[in-house]
Structure 1
Amino acid sequence: MPASITLHQVSYSTPDNQPLFTGLDLSFGSERTGLIGRNGTGKSTLLRLITGEVSPSSGSISITGTLGVLEQSVQVDPAETVAGRLGVAGELARLDRLEQGLGTADDAGEADWSLPGRIETALADVQLPTLDTNRLISTLSGGQRTRLSLARLILAKPDMILLDEPTNNLDADGRQAVADLLHRWRGGAIMVSHDRTLLREMDAIVELTSLGAKTYGGNWDHYSERKALELASAEHQLASAERKVAEVDRKLQAVAEKKARKDSAGKRKAAKGDIPRIMLGGMKENSENTSGGNARLASRLRAEASEAASEARSQIEILTPLSVTLTPSGLPAGRTVLQVDSLSGGPVPEAPIIANASFSIIGPERVAITGPNGSGKTTLLRLLTGDLPPTAGAVRILVPYALLDQTVSLLDPALSIRDNFRRLNPDADENTGRAALARFMFRAEAALQLVGTLSGGETLRAGLACTIGGNNPPQLLILDEPTNHLDIHAIEQVEAGLRGYDGALLVVSHDRDFLDAIGIEREIALG
């Protein structure tokens, strides 16, 4: 029977009783499905519900077939071996006992003599050499440990695999290993990811929003095309709904004016004494009844039209991408922004990670620093900005600059976004600050949120607003892995903000789609 997962009327609330899912109906088959949505919509929780790690408050989840799970992060147990990580330590021990003549009848009946060969094939499939199964995994690199976890899935051959942000913190080789697995996988797969390269390997996309879940056939590119069509449709519906509101208001105004004229004429006639007193009482009662009926009708029509417009507007807010227009930095095309000469250094001066590096950035160039994990990308940024003293060579940053590291540490988490902007832009008045924050979608009360309460995507967007959103943006912006742990919506907002920036960019990132989207022109490869 084909593998399947079915959620029927599933509801779930967070530990603080905030509803996350209500009456969710969703099904997954033997296709590869990408699960996307803004942070906080419940993507990882949905996987935990499927594995039984948490239970729904109501509804049911039925599963046909076996499940395999690739953990979001690979923790290192100092005593864990390659065999343990592959999940075959007991089976290999059984084979070992039999080879030494110490095995039992049960060992002989349950032994899988094909296992060593299958292990070797699984390791080769994830581009790992043949490893001693007794080797401690603490002696392997992070990328090798990730590949080992992928090999475990290949060995187990589950009917359905679940992957939660499998490429977070992986270098290009590690990302490729995950992509290769998904490309070859012939069972079912559900993957939570913001990696658009991986999402192009999917057969379907399920998007979680505040309105529920919606399934799109096809991969990421097909989903993107459908969303563009949905946005155009939603904009048309909003325009129609707003025209309906205006039309209702015009009609109600016309009715009110007609009744006012009629009432005024009646009053003038009554003043002349042309109408008997008993008829005056009846006319007054009729007028009051008509007024009450008109008021109720007007209220209903106005409410219906406004509700339709509000619903259309909420769809626009979900679908509309961020578009940012920024104040020019004034960086001339031929200006030397950064000059690095024979630079060496690292956290341990006696063992420099960066050795004899020389390069420059001229004008509004967009440059990426790339390389495998451990090659020194973040170390190089620390050397450039003076956070680490070099052991040799020199660095000159010749224009105003700002650094947004992975935690956006230039923002004070105890202050509001507005107060951080004023702290970093002391010459800006209140109106300038509010306008800059609004360009990055921090309008009105949203600008008063404490930075410490923001999500990762909101924090990075606030960092961009406070650095490049003002009237005097720096002429060099340095970014260290800006897309780590961001959902796709947040990444696209950051991309839109950076596309509107006319200064020089120096970026560390493994996300190829992100680098392409922000117009990287040159790469400095380490390692």
Structure 2
Amino acid sequence: MPVSVTLQNLTYRTPDNAPLFSGLDLAFGPNRTGLIGRNGTGKSTLLRLIAGELQPLEGSITFGGTLGVLSQSVQVDDNQTLADLLGVADGLARLDRLAAGIGSVDDAGEADWTLPSRIEAALDQLDLPQSPPDRPLSSFSGGQRTRLALAALLLNQPDMILLDEPTNNLDSDGRAAVAGLLRQWRGGAIVVSHDRELLREMDAIVELTTLGAKTYGGNWDHYSERKALELAAAEHGLAIAERKVGEIDRKAQQTVERQARRDGAGQRKRDRGDMPKILLNARKDNAEKTSGENARLASRQRAEAAEAAGEARAQVEVLTPLSVKLASTKLPAGRTVLQVDGLTGGPVPDQPIIRNLSFSIIGPERVAITGPNGAGKTTLLRLLTGELTPIAGAVRINGRFALLDQTISLLDPHLTIRDNFRALNPDDDENACRAALARFMFRADAALQVVGSLSGGEMLRAGLASTIGGSAPPDLLILDEPTNHLDIGAIQAVEAGLQAYDGALLVVSHDKAFLQNIGLTREIRLGAL
């Protein structure tokens, strides 16, 4: 039976009874489909519905073939081993019994003698170290555990795989391994991701919005081209709709003014008494009737035009990428913002991770710190900002700086977004505060949310708004993996803001597309331990 997933008239509500999908129809075949959409549109929920972990309120999900699932995070039990995660513990134990001469008839009948070689091949394909099956999972890094979970899918060879943000927290090598797996995958795949490099490996893109789902044939680049055309068409439609509303308002006003002039002329004739009263009264009744009909007609036409404009505006709001405008830092091009000389250090004093590192950032340079997981990228940022004391060497930051780490610890989780902004930007008044937060999608009451209640993406937006959104942004902005928890729309908004930012940037990121789009000046690559 060919692999397929069909969703018909699917309706689902969140546990707090908020509608997520209503009458959703979708079909997935034996190809690689990227599932994208802003945070909160239900991408992960849709995968869980397909996997059977959740049940729809209405509608049906039909599936032909076998299914494999990779969750966003791989949970680790203290007692779990490599063999447990790969799902091969029983198979390897069976082979061990047969090799020791104590296997049963059932063991002989069910033995898969190719299993050890298939394990080796799966680990190789995902650039993982060959390890004994009883190696504890806790000894692998988070990124390695994600790749091990992918290796388990390779071993089982399901007809359809569901991957939820498979490249999150992976370094460049890990991301390349996941992309390579999908490039060679011959079954079906549904991949939730904001990794644009990975989405370039897709055969189709499905976008979830508040309006429903839409399928685009082709990969991320094809989707982007189509989206740009749709945005242009939607903006054109909105301009026409709004122009029609304006024309109706002008015509209605002209009609009112003409009627008023006629009514005035009739009143003057009545006052002069040069027309029979019965005729004047008839004309007055007719004028009032005409005026009422004109008003009703104008009201109906305006309501219809306003409704059309509202629908057109909703389309533009869905399609329009977020945009961010920033105040200038006025940073001179020749000023040394950061000077690092012979820096050595790490969390453990006698075991330095960073050794004898020297570099500088001059003017509005944009510098990326890259390297494999474990190379010390976050440690370097902690040394630069004074959170860790160096063993040797010196760091000098000339001017104001702000660090947004992966937990956005700059913000007080007990305060609202508005209060955090005011605390970090004491010279900005309430109007400036609200305007800055609105540029980062925290409008009106949204700015009064407590930071501790925000999602990861919302928290980063709040952190960016509070650091670079004010009237005096810092000369140096330091970002540690800023795109990990953002959807593509939010990433593009951050990119737009950082393109407008005229200060210096120091960024730790594995997201190649992000680094390219913010105008990277140069790269400092740290080696593996």
TM-score, normalised relative to structure 2: 0.94
Cα distance, 1:138 vs structure 2: 2.6
Separation in 1, partners of 2:333, 2:409:
30
User: SS at 1:215's partner residue?
Assistant: strand
Counterpart mapping for 1:102-117 below 5 A: 102-117=102-117
User: SS at 1:92's partner residue?
Assistant: helix
User: SS at 1:428's partner residue?
Assistant: coil
User: SS at 1:133's partner residue?
Assistant: coil
User: SS at 2:267's partner residue?
Assistant: helix
Counterpart mapping for 1:26-425 below 5 A: 26-272=26-272, 283=283, 285-425=285-425
Moved more, 49-58 or 112-121: 112-121
Q: Residue 143 of structure 1 contacts residue 174 of structure 1 at CA under 8 Å; is this kept in 2? A: yes
User: SS at 2:154's partner residue?
Assistant: helix
Distance 1:104 1:190, change over 3 A: same
User: SS at 1:399's partner residue?
Assistant: coil
Moved more, 183-192 or 409-418: 409-418
Aligned-pair Cα RMSD in Å: 2.1
Q: Residue 12 of structure 2 contacts residue 20 of structure 2 at CA under 8 Å; is this kept in 1? A: yes
User: SS at 1:300's partner residue?
Assistant: helix
Query: Structure 2 counterpart of 1:26, which letter?
Result: L
CA offset digits 1:243-278 (Å, max 9, x no partner) = 100111122122222332333333344445566666
User: SS at 2:507's partner residue?
Assistant: strand
Moved more, 336-345 or 20-29: 336-345
Residue of structure 2 in register with 1:506 after alignment: 506
Separation in 2, partners of 1:261, 1:5:
68
Query: Structure 1 counterpart of 2:492, which letter?
Result: E
User: SS at 1:437's partner residue?
Assistant: helix
Separation in 1, partners of 2:298, 2:504:
57
Separation in 1, partners of 2:53, 2:150:
21
Q: Residue 371 of structure 1 contacts residue 377 of structure 1 at CA under 8 Å; is this kept in 2? A: yes
CA offset digits 1:357-385 (Å, max 9, x no partner) = 22221221111111111111111111111
Separation in 2, partners of 1:346, 1:443:
41
Q: Residue 461 of structure 1 contacts residue 493 of structure 1 at CA under 8 Å; is this kept in 2? A: no
Q: Residue 41 of structure 2 contacts residue 209 of structure 2 at CA under 8 Å; is this kept in 1? A: yes
Cα distance, 1:457 vs structure 2: 2.9
Query: Structure 1 counterpart of 2:380, which letter?
Result: L
Cα distance, 1:441 vs structure 2: 4.3
Distance 1:134 1:451, change over 3 A: closer
Distance 1:442 1:15, change over 3 A: closer
Moved more, 160-169 or 315-324: 315-324
Separation in 2, partners of 1:132, 1:268:
105
Moved more, 99-108 or 487-496: 99-108
Separation in 1, partners of 2:355, 2:311:
58
Cα distance, 1:77 vs structure 2: 2.0
Count of equivalent residues: 527
Q: Residue 341 of structure 1 contacts residue 359 of structure 1 at CA under 8 Å; is this kept in 2? A: yes
Moved more, 107-116 or 78-87: 107-116
User: SS at 1:491's partner residue?
Assistant: helix
Separation in 2, partners of 1:436, 1:126:
43
Cα distance, 1:155 vs structure 2: 1.2
Cα distance, 1:344 vs structure 2: 1.9
Question: Which ranges in structure 2 are unaligned for 5 or more consecutive residues?
Answer: none
Is 1:24 aligned with 2:36?
no
Q: Residue 35 of structure 1 contacts residue 207 of structure 1 at CA under 8 Å; is this kept in 2? A: yes
Residue of structure 1 in register with 2:433 after alignment: 433
CA offset digits 1:471-525 (Å, max 9, x no partner) = 3221111111111111111111111111111111111111111111111112121
Cα distance, 1:59 vs structure 2: 0.7
Separation in 2, partners of 1:454, 1:174:
29
Query: Structure 2 counterpart of 1:400, which letter?
Result: R
Moved more, 462-471 or 274-283: 274-283
Separation in 1, partners of 2:109, 2:413:
61
User: SS at 2:375's partner residue?
Assistant: coil
Separation in 2, partners of 1:508, 1:257:
65
Separation in 2, partners of 1:276, 1:388:
100
Q: Residue 440 of structure 1 contacts residue 497 of structure 1 at CA under 8 Å; is this kept in 2? A: no
Separation in 2, partners of 1:454, 1:76:
26
Question: Which ranges in structure 1 are unaligned for 5 or more consecutive residues?
Answer: none
Q: Percent identity?
A: 73
Distance 1:439 1:14, change over 3 A: closer
Cα distance, 1:48 vs structure 2: 0.4
Moved more, 172-181 or 310-319: 310-319
Cα distance, 1:121 vs structure 2: 2.3
Q: Residue 343 of structure 2 contacts residue 394 of structure 2 at CA under 8 Å; is this kept in 1? A: yes
Separation in 1, partners of 2:506, 2:293:
67
Moved more, 181-190 or 441-450: 441-450
Residue of structure 1 in register with 2:10 after alignment: 10
Cα distance, 1:445 vs structure 2: 4.5
Q: Residue 401 of structure 2 contacts residue 478 of structure 2 at CA under 8 Å; is this kept in 1? A: yes
Moved more, 130-139 or 69-78: 130-139
TM-score, normalised relative to structure 1: 0.94
Separation in 2, partners of 1:453, 1:294:
52
Query: Structure 2 counterpart of 1:138, which letter?
Result: S
Moved more, 136-145 or 343-352: 136-145
Moved more, 271-280 or 245-254: 271-280
Cα distance, 1:70 vs structure 2: 1.4
CA offset digits 1:4-54 (Å, max 9, x no partner) = 101111011111000011111111111100000110000000000001101
Q: Residue 457 of structure 1 contacts residue 491 of structure 1 at CA under 8 Å; is this kept in 2? A: no
Query: Structure 1 counterpart of 2:60, which letter?
Result: S
Q: Residue 249 of structure 1 contacts residue 302 of structure 1 at CA under 8 Å; is this kept in 2? A: yes
CA offset digits 1:40-74 (Å, max 9, x no partner) = 00000000000110101111111111110112112
Distance 1:352 1:23, change over 3 A: same
Separation in 2, partners of 1:524, 1:322:
30
Residue of structure 2 in register with 1:476 after alignment: 476
Moved more, 282-291 or 500-509: 282-291
